[in-house]
Structure 1
């Protein structure tokens, strides 16, 4: 499958949006992939990377193998993600430090609005779909209630953590970095990156690649065979994940290990309680405006994607 130049740049732009979301602990790049209309293609393309692609390469040559795995699409997408992570990580980090409530307000609106295009694509609503929707909500709320553990950073735990994080990253609504933080591996991964601890990095990367290959195949198969229940479950995960990214938070009594220091865990509160306890502005209007802007962006992207799909 070849990509035209305009589509290629469109895929790069989607990758940049996914990378920007993945930088924020609590927001998943999978959400962006879904609302920009490339989720199914992403799953199908990744699921083709494997032993059979090597057989195609051996029998038919590099060009056919590249087309088989939809290589131009994957290369464009991951280039966009990389550009975004490298260039936007510092900006998003600055905005999160300076205007946290407004930034979280924007992502809250983004995730809330993303539920609409996902649930609208459920082909038929029945008891099974409703049950899976509720199950998705419960899974996301369960993840949000996790409390940090202290897992030792052995090659095996890093391998398993890499697999778990990449699975979360593919799922709309659950952030891979949030999962790593909760199981206590996040600081170890950051240290391994900063100090170039190759054995640890390779263990984590091997787990991520393995998880990506296996989980993308499973999700792709589910999306083709059980589309209504799978979409309802994904929509439920998005709804439940709103608890994780609620903009107004206050420190609770519990603490989370963050590198060499302990950071307080945050619990949700109302904008008025937040202002009263912190003595700062609740930024209610700014956060509300940011959330509304995000909702309008998602609905516009969905409308544009829907129209393009109708014309093809």
Structure 2
């Protein structure tokens, strides 16, 4: 893999990290838009399998054969740059975006609404045409469920370690599920601010519990999602599209603290401008990614032709 592409993956990872800190936006959505989603899911599945084989084979003296086989199938050239970018992206977002959400909630949600709305076209286009009736129904059902979920009033929970563990296990699913925001789920149960504070204050005790919950959630969920993408790809993408559409409710700029939706009011023009900026940013990302893929496919075709001609 070329150096330029590795650097691109670092920036993609930074964007995913930023998205994970923002309520209403899923890191999985950014991964999907930037073209790394399926490789990340496949790699995560192989890592989970490698850990499982290591835990079962090594104590029995069976060696590293199955574990090594799984690890060799991980897209390390994609995963490592993404991880390098994600951590600073998350830390920067925790420092800068949270005050913006507090001080300028309507304008910030307007920008995010444009980002996510434009992102919906990615999984929809990946399903392909024509759409079958079952896929349309799945999209509608997922949209309704996501709309209802994002309308739930914010709860307030004491950050007990067990609660943090369970919340992290559920929220991390959003890292691999486009349309479902892990930060929004934390906000719903009242753990968003404590988690952001823990990140900013380097509360390693809280973060260790949270990280444990993430590992548990990934181990339980990733293999299922990998299987769904392999065996029921169109239906899974249809559900993802519906989840993205339904989650737009959380990003409507004009809403109360109880998440009641209001008609457009103050700051309409600035919010509209930020909305259009969000649409333009994602559209540019999608166009750039598709051009990169076409260029890579063309280079591969030319390389294959030259190899064949040389023979």
TM class by shorter chain equals: 0.7 to 0.9
Given candidates 1, 4, 15, the residue that maps to 2:2 is 4
Q: Corresponding residue for 1:290?
A: 277
Q: Corresponding residue for 1:259?
A: none
Distance 2:232 2:274 in 1: 37
Q: Corresponding residue for 1:39?
A: 37
Q: How many residues of Structure 1 are paired with residues of Structure 2 in the alignment?
A: 290
Q: Corresponding residue for 1:147?
A: 153
1:16 aligns with 2:14: yes
Asked whether the equivalents of residues 114 and 298 of structure 1 are also in contact (C-alpha less than 8 Å), the reply is no
Q: Corresponding residue for 2:26?
A: 28
1:4–1:108 distance in 2 versus 1, CA, 3 Å: same
Matches within 5 A, 1:40-79: 40-52=38-50, 55=54, 58-59=63-64, 67-79=72-84
Uncovered stretches (5+) of structure 2, i.e. residues with no partner: 301-311
Uncovered stretches (5+) of structure 1, i.e. residues with no partner: 252-263
| TM-score normalised per structure 2 | 0.81
- Tell me the CA shift for residue 240 of structure 1: 0.7
The CA deviation string for residues 203-234 of structure 1, in whole angstroms up to 9 with x for no partner, is: 32211111112211111110110011100000
Asked whether the equivalents of residues 142 and 246 of structure 2 are also in contact (C-alpha less than 8 Å), the reply is yes
SS at 2:180's partner residue?
Answer: coil
Structure with the larger strand share: 1
Distance 2:274 2:92 in 1: 24
1:91 aligns with 2:96: yes
Distance 2:102 2:209 in 1: 31
1:302–1:138 distance in 2 versus 1, CA, 3 Å: farther
Distance 2:263 2:114 in 1: 16
Structure with the larger helix share: 2
- Tell me the CA shift for residue 281 of structure 1: 6.0
Distance 1:301 1:243 in 2: 28
Moved more, 54-63 or 14-23: 54-63
| TM-score normalised per structure 1 | 0.81
- Tell me the CA shift for residue 98 of structure 1: 5.4
Given candidates 223, 230, 243, the residue that maps to 2:249 is 243
1:309–1:35 distance in 2 versus 1, CA, 3 Å: farther
Distance 1:141 1:285 in 2: 22
Moved more, 102-111 or 166-175: 102-111
Given candidates 288, 300, 303, the residue that maps to 2:287 is 300
